[in-house]
Homo-oligomer: A and B are copies of this chain.
Amino acid sequence: MKNAPLFPHLIHGGDYNPDQWIDTPEIWDEDVRLMKLAHINSATVGIFAWSLLEPEEGRYDFDWLETVLDKLHANGVSAVLATPSGARPPWLAQKYPEVLRVEESGIRNEYGVRHNHCLTSPVYREKVRQINRALAERFKDHPALALWHISNEYSGACHCDLCQQAFRDWLRKRYHNDIDELNHYWWNGFWSHRFTDFSQISSPKGRGENHVPALTLDWNRFVTAQHVSFLENEIVPLRELTPDVPVTTNMMCLYPGIDYQEMAKHVDVISWDSYPQWEHGRNEQEALTHAFSHDLFRSMKQGQPFLMMESTPANVNWRDVNKLPLPGRQAQASLLAVALGADSVQYFQWRKSRGGHEKFHGAVVDHAGHENTRVFRQVAALGEQLEQLDEAVGRRCESRVAVVYDWENRWATDRYCGYNNVRRDYAGECIKWYAPFLRRGIAVDVISETDDFTRYDLVIAPYLYLLKEGVKERIAAYVQNGGHFVTTYLCGVVDPHDLCYLGGLPAGELKDVFGVWAEETDALLENAPGRASYGGRTYSVDHVCDILHADGAEILGTYESDFYAGSPAVTKNSYGKGTAYYCAFRSDGDFADDFCEDLIAACGVAPDTAIQIPKSMFLRKRGDLIFLFNFTDVPRTAELDRPYLDVLNGAAVEGALTLPVCGYAVLKSSD
């Protein structure tokens, strides 16, 4: 695999479906003409093209694709070549019904939609491997080929007999073929569930077992494992035939169905599809969510640049109401991706399809078919700007602060039954603790529980309900050695099997680390929040809160409502050379931001520049480039500490820099 940057320039491209227009080849020529006008340098081809690539079993027709790749290459456009497994041709489903999914009902799906394949089916895996091999053989030396794109937005699960058997085999392996080991970890004494044989187990489902949390957790893990092995099966011929072409697959924001932190290990480059929902009054929050995701996906490969594989140049078509974003918004969001580590701005989709489910999804080229549209002009203008940012390409990001977001903890917090069963929103909590850093120009990684804490000065792990193997020991060691660690309510409640820790919370040695015992957890009704005080201010207590005993910790804040008024709500504990904070409640107000203000000072974490921004702006430095953003609905002003060069327009700037709505700037010190 290549180690150099994939491209000398930022990738500007997107999903391109010439296969839909095979009967009108004049459209293909028009496409390349328009790509040049739009400053497009990359096209993703072949997604969902299987029924054209293999029109009947074993007969491949790749000539049209070669023609397309030739045209692209001749016009300076590289190809991201997709494997077609995301949607199968009808003949395949008709001949081999096993390739279609079975839902929880036990009834096999009929042919239809995409993402409708069994992850286990040997036939399907074989057919996919065969066509991938054929593609690699045909195009391994094609000069346009820059990257393999495996399938598309892997998702879902299958409950067929083959999958049940695979699940049982996976369990046998996990539990050393010892059914009593499984019985213990799943706590099967509850409700008379002690199995006597692995054959008695089936996937969780509404019409079967749906009340065993450890089963559901293991099923989530198994579904990830099946996706990974399906992915690996796809990659085998590619690695063999095109060892120098890197491999990616496009992931989806905070999609819970697959542990992306696990899947990330199996691709060379991380890609993801970013579709913010821009709406007056919530643009800032939406930008935060996507910024968080950029940092999350980048952190999966320790700072290596990622690709924003999909985004829309206009509106999408699949939300309830698909309002047009303001002019400039798409460019702003694209630059945010680049600021946070993306080496690409790619679109779904190049050209609107004439029919089908996504014909009204925003595209660079509309049904009108020409370049004289507002959207096309905006894309072309952005393409020109991206060409000014070559020095960002391949530049890794480094952070001294990390927020923990962990897929297994997401699964566990989504599913446990107790305390507050609505609006768990683990991701929302993590974003709440992530935002203060982006708002202050401090780089931040978003890592899993098993990532290395010692790379950071400060680690914040909100709502850390499930502790994976060794995590509590690693937290203790991290703090012992001088780290700063922050957690919140319901910390360290269960082990990786969703078995509760005995002996008081937080689990085991964490009581010493934080110097507290969390005796009870209260739940708050939506319309009846509690109150807590910290630093002379009062905050709402929402959703849940722990009732604490300080056992050595310093009390920084207390509850002011309910029968536990006066008891500790925020604590700080010196442990070894480090410090551990316990913030025992959720607050929908400004608590996290105010607390982080103090925390940043206490931990000595410094902003990456001396530019002064209001909290309503975002700032991030990548290499020597400083990116500034205004995602609010009014103009915002930053105070520059020195003269800068505005990289996008070559102007010199100093003093006050005001960004309008949708505004952004890329600065470089002009010293």
Any chain B CB within 8 A of the CB of A451? no
Q: Write the nearest CB–CB distance from A196 to chain B, whole angstroms.
A: 5
Using Cβ atoms and an 8 Å threshold, which residues of chain B touch A318? 417, 421
Structural contact, B191 and A87, CB atoms closer than 8 A:
yes
Structural contact, B523 and A322, CB atoms closer than 8 A:
yes
Chain A window 339-378, contacts with chain B (Cβ cutoff 8 Å), 1 for yes, 0 for no: 0000000000000111111111100001111000111000
Copies in the complex: 3
Most buried by B among A360, A366, A418, A422: A418
* Residues A323 and B107 in contact in the complex (CB < 8 Å), given A55-B196, A355-B498: no
Among A205-213, A390-398, A427-435, A441-449, the stretch in contact with B: A205-213
Residue in contact with A87 in the complex, picked from B193, B200, B501, B528, CB distance below 8 Å: B193
Any chain B CB within 8 A of the CB of A22? yes
Q: Write the nearest CB–CB distance from A182 to chain B, whole angstroms.
A: 11
Distance in angstroms between the alpha carbons of A315 and B521 in the assembled complex: 10
Using Cβ atoms and an 8 Å threshold, which residues of chain B touch A50? 192
Any chain B CB within 8 A of the CB of A522? yes
Distance in angstroms between the alpha carbons of A315 and B417 in the assembled complex: 12
Q: Write the nearest CB–CB distance from A256 to chain B, whole angstroms.
A: 20
* Residues A51 and B321 in contact in the complex (CB < 8 Å), given A111-B208, A359-B418, A367-B501: no
Chain A window 184-211, contacts with chain B (Cβ cutoff 8 Å), 1 for yes, 0 for no: 1111111111111101101001011111
Distance in angstroms between the alpha carbons of A93 and B197 in the assembled complex: 12
Distance in angstroms between the alpha carbons of A1 and B193 in the assembled complex: 34
State which residues 89-113 of A face B: CB under 8 Å.
Answer: 89-91, 93-94, 103, 105-107, 109-113
Structural contact, A499 and B355, CB atoms closer than 8 A:
yes
Any chain B CB within 8 A of the CB of A49? yes
Any chain B CB within 8 A of the CB of A606? no
Q: Name the residue on B nearest A189 (C-beta).
A: B20
Any chain B CB within 8 A of the CB of A23? yes
Any chain B CB within 8 A of the CB of A653? no
Structural contact, A19 and B189, CB atoms closer than 8 A:
yes
* Residues A194 and B89 in contact in the complex (CB < 8 Å), given A112-B210, A207-B103, A500-B359: yes
Residue in contact with A192 in the complex, picked from B49, B56, B202, B320, CB distance below 8 Å: B49
Distance in angstroms between the alpha carbons of A191 and B51 in the assembled complex: 9
Distance in angstroms between the alpha carbons of A417 and B209 in the assembled complex: 35
Any chain B CB within 8 A of the CB of A173? no
Any chain B CB within 8 A of the CB of A255? no
Distance in angstroms between the alpha carbons of A107 and B208 in the assembled complex: 11
Using Cβ atoms and an 8 Å threshold, which residues of chain B touch A192? 48-52, 84, 86-89, 114
Structural contact, B420 and A191, CB atoms closer than 8 A:
no
Structural contact, B354 and A502, CB atoms closer than 8 A:
yes
State which residues 400-437 of A face B: CB under 8 Å.
Answer: 416-422
Q: Write the nearest CB–CB distance from A559 to chain B, whole angstroms.
A: 12
Distance in angstroms between the alpha carbons of A190 and B351 in the assembled complex: 12
Distance in angstroms between the alpha carbons of A197 and B109 in the assembled complex: 19
Any chain B CB within 8 A of the CB of A214? yes
Using Cβ atoms and an 8 Å threshold, which residues of chain B touch A90? 193-197, 200
* A interface residues, how many (CB within 8 angstroms): 115
Using Cβ atoms and an 8 Å threshold, which residues of chain B touch A19? 189
Structural contact, B419 and A210, CB atoms closer than 8 A:
no
Residue in contact with A280 in the complex, picked from B86, B501, B528, CB distance below 8 Å: B528
* Residues A355 and B324 in contact in the complex (CB < 8 Å), given A87-B193, A193-B87, A194-B51: no
Using Cβ atoms and an 8 Å threshold, which residues of chain B touch A499? 354-355
Using Cβ atoms and an 8 Å threshold, which residues of chain B touch A315? 419, 523
Distance in angstroms between the alpha carbons of A105 and B108 in the assembled complex: 10
Structural contact, A91 and B48, CB atoms closer than 8 A:
no
Using Cβ atoms and an 8 Å threshold, which residues of chain B touch A191? 48, 87, 113-114, 356-357
Most buried by B among A20, A279, A367, A498: A367
Any chain B CB within 8 A of the CB of A248? no
Structural contact, A107 and B109, CB atoms closer than 8 A:
no
* Residues A523 and B324 in contact in the complex (CB < 8 Å), given A52-B189, A419-B360, A421-B319: yes
Q: Name the residue on B nearest A19 (C-beta).
A: B189
Chain A window 166-196, contacts with chain B (Cβ cutoff 8 Å), 1 for yes, 0 for no: 0000000000000000001111111111111
Using Cβ atoms and an 8 Å threshold, which residues of chain B touch A450? none
Any chain B CB within 8 A of the CB of A520? yes
Distance in angstroms between the alpha carbons of A93 and B91 in the assembled complex: 36
Distance in angstroms between the alpha carbons of A195 and B211 in the assembled complex: 41
Q: Write the nearest CB–CB distance from A33 to chain B, whole angstroms.
A: 16
Structural contact, B20 and A352, CB atoms closer than 8 A:
no
Using Cβ atoms and an 8 Å threshold, which residues of chain B touch A48? 190-192
Structural contact, A324 and B522, CB atoms closer than 8 A:
yes
Structural contact, B107 and A502, CB atoms closer than 8 A:
no
Any chain B CB within 8 A of the CB of A524? yes
Distance in angstroms between the alpha carbons of A185 and B286 in the assembled complex: 38
Chain A window 516-527, contacts with chain B (Cβ cutoff 8 Å), 1 for yes, 0 for no: 010110111110
Q: Write the nearest CB–CB distance from A586 to chain B, whole angstroms.
A: 13
Chain A window 473-510, contacts with chain B (Cβ cutoff 8 Å), 1 for yes, 0 for no: 00000000000000000000000011111111100000
Any chain B CB within 8 A of the CB of A589? no
Structural contact, A189 and B17, CB atoms closer than 8 A:
yes
Q: Name the residue on B nearest A316 (C-beta).
A: B418
Distance in angstroms between the alpha carbons of A191 and B52 in the assembled complex: 11
Any chain B CB within 8 A of the CB of A74? no
Distance in angstroms between the alpha carbons of A315 and B327 in the assembled complex: 52
Chain A residues in the interface with B (C-beta under 8 A):
17, 19-23, 48-52, 55-56, 84, 86-91, 93-94, 103, 105-107, 109-114, 184-197, 199-200, 202, 205, 207-214, 279-280, 314-315, 317-324, 326-327, 352-361, 366-369, 373-375, 416-422, 497-505, 517, 519-520, 522-526, 528, 563
- For the complex of A and B, the 8 pairs showing the least CB-CB separation, nearest first, are A187-B355, A360-B418, A112-B209, A110-B208, A190-B356, A317-B418, A20-B189, A51-B194
